[in-house]
Amino acid sequence: MHSPATNNNPMYAAWQRFRSDKLAMLPLIMLGIMLLIALFAPLIANPRPLLAYAPQQGLSMPFWRSFFAPESTEYCIEQLFNYCSLALLICWVMRLIKRRFIRRILTLLLLTALILPFALTRPKLERVDYRNARMPAGAFQIMTLLPYGPFEQVGEPLSAPSAKHILGCDELGRDLATRLIYGSRISLAVGLLATAIAMFIGVVIGVFAGYRGGWFDLMIMRFVEILICFPVFLLLLIIMAFFQEYKFEQSILAVIAVIGLTGWIGMAQLTRGEVLKQREMTYVKAAMASGFPTWRILFYHILPNILGTVMITFSFGVAGAILSESSLSFLGFGVQAPTASWGGMLRSAFNDPLSAWHMTLFPGLMLFWAVAGFNLAGEGLRKAFDPKTSTNKG
């Protein structure tokens, strides 16, 4: 039984409507699977054993060093995903503690302590071929499902799918399935983080412009209208070319920053319109007449009532950011080699798409999975927060 307060909560009611929409729940589940694959990528595809035993050395876990200190040019994003995977496991285990206060304190302490191994561990170049190494008597090792790294050349270039490489190899002989899995980290990182940056900037500007009005609103909106005149994708190309000129190594951070800092305009316009509508409502006028401070009116009254619109726009924005990153990588201005990127894989098959059909098909399917999933989830959110729309159409 749910309490009356829960049943009267508009967010709870929207969630119930969203759950009843199978066309919205299915992509949400599929996106959840993609996120779990991205989070636990080192446990699915890794050239180092998860567990190894040798009579003279005992038990060891060779994959841990590369887990805390990834051998990648985009080590910041790799470390972020690895940290989140362990943090998710810690939060799941901590749910076994019944007392809420103790559970929160322990969870906070463990999540803080978890930062230390990522900060203190240094990368170590290791050229041990665990797959083909001769095992002494009594020794064993447990490998991952795909015992390959995203940068290893382990097969014939552009070889078709086979029993050894289930999705084939790319133009350099790297396992395509492994690179697709690690490429999901790139796309999700760009989509979620860039959209979060754009949402934060757009919501802050839109809320204050809509609430204050007057000259402040006039100046902000004229500035927004000037920015709209610039072709955004061309601006992305120019800025990314500038970063490449100065050999910026963390190319994914540049992509995230550029997409985030150029994608807030639509969010600001939408948020401003919603705030203008809410500002004329009776409950806001009553709060203003009662002398409530501005921050309380914004955070406790207006923002909760426009949260649905922000969530819908966020979902569509993630899909757009993933497409922008893939387009930039396809043109050679996005995430740089050797980092795995779906757009970069599509670019590799551009010269001979028929012979490298698997290099076109599988990255394209991954892009379709992600973009269609976020778009369908956004459409489900729109119906959940505005049930009159679906009723009228029916």
pTM of the complete model: 0.87
SS (H, E, C) the chain: CCCHHHHCCHHHHHHHHHHCCHHHHHHHHHHHHHHHHHHCHHHHECCCCCEEEECCCEEECCHHHHHHCCCCCCHHHHHHHHHHHHHHHHHHHHCCCCCHHHHHHHHHHHHHHCHHHHHHCCCCCCCCCCCCCCCCCCCEEECCCECCCCCCCCCCCCCCCCCCCCCCECCCCCEHHHHHHHHHHHHHHHHHHHHHHHHHHHHHHHHHHHHHCHHHHHHHHHHHHHHHCCCHHHHHHHHHHHHHHCCCCCHHHHHHHHHHHHCCHHHHHHHHHHHHHHHCCHHHHHHHHCCCCHHHHHHHHHHHHHHHHHHHHHHHHHHHHHHHHHHHHHCCCCCCCCCCCHHHHHHHCCCCCCCCHHHHHHHHHHHHHHHHHHHHHHHHHHHHHCHHHHHHHC
The structure tokens 């963390």 sit at: 250
For 177-393, CATH number? 1.10.3720.10
Question: pLDDT grade, residue 33 (50/70/90)?
Answer: very high
Question: pLDDT grade, residue 7 (50/70/90)?
Answer: low
List, for residues 305-357, the tens digit of each pLDDT value: 888 888 888 999 999 999 888 888 888 777 777 888 898 888 888 877 788 89
Beta bridge partners of 52: 60, 141
Q: Which of 276, 273, 271, 268 is nearest to 307 (CA)?
A: 271
Q: Classify burial at 285, counting beta carbons within 10 Å of its beta carbon; exposed 0-12, middle 13-18, buried 19 or more.
A: exposed
Reading the block at residue 3, the tokens are: 């309490």
Q: Is residue 393 scored above 50 in pLDDT? A: no
Per-residue model confidence (pLDDT) at position 43: 92
Give the CB-side neighbour count of residue 15, counting CA atoms within 13 A.
8
Question: pLDDT grade, residue 79 (50/70/90)?
Answer: very high
List, for residues 156-177, the tens digit of each pLDDT value: 988 889 989 999 998 889 999 9
Q: Is residue 46 scored above 60 in pLDDT? A: yes
Share above pLDDT 90 across residues of the chain, in percent, rounded to a whole number:
28
Strand order in the sheet with 51-54: 58-60, 51-54, 140-142
Q: Is residue 41 scored above 90 in pLDDT? A: yes
Dihedral (Cα; 207, 213, 217, 219), 10-degree rounding: -150
Q: Is residue 200 scored above 90 in pLDDT? A: yes
Q: Which of 392, 390, 393 is nearest to 20 (CA)?
A: 390
Task: State the distance between the two ends of the chain, measured CA to CA, in whole angstroms.
Answer: 31
User: What is the domain partition of the chain in residue ranges?
Assistant: 19-158, 177-393
Per-residue model confidence (pLDDT) at position 256: 87
- Torsion over CA: 141, 147, 149, 154 (sign): positive
Rg of the Cα trace of the chain? Answer: 24
Dist. CA 284–CA 297, nearest whole Å:
7
